[in-house]
Amino acid sequence: MTHLLAAEGPNGWLLPADINEVYWGTVSFLILAALFLWKGLPKLKEAMAARSEGIRDDLAAAERAEHEAAASRAEQEAQFADADGEAERIVADARDRAAVLKTDLMKRAEADVTASKQRARAEIEASRTQVLAELRSEVAQRTVRAAEAVAVENLDDTAKNDLIEQYIQQVGARS
Q: What's the pLDDT at 8?
A: 54
Q: What's the pLDDT at 32?
A: 92
Structural domain count, the chain: 1
Alpha helix (H) residue ranges in the chain:
2-6, 19-35, 41-154, 157-174
Query: What's the whole-model pTM score?
Result: 0.36
Q: What's the pLDDT at 60?
A: 92
Give me Rg for the CA atoms of the chain.
Answer: 66
pLDDT tens per residue, range 76-120: 888 877 777 788 888 888 889 888 988 988 888 888 889 888 988
Cα(175)–Cα(168) distance, rounded to whole angstroms? 11
CB-CB contact of 13 with 5 (8 Å): yes
Give me the residues of the chain with pLDDT under 70, please: 1-17, 140, 142-143, 145-147, 149-155, 171-172, 174-175
CB-CB contact of 79 with 71 (8 Å): no
Provide the residue range defining the domain that includes 109: 2-174
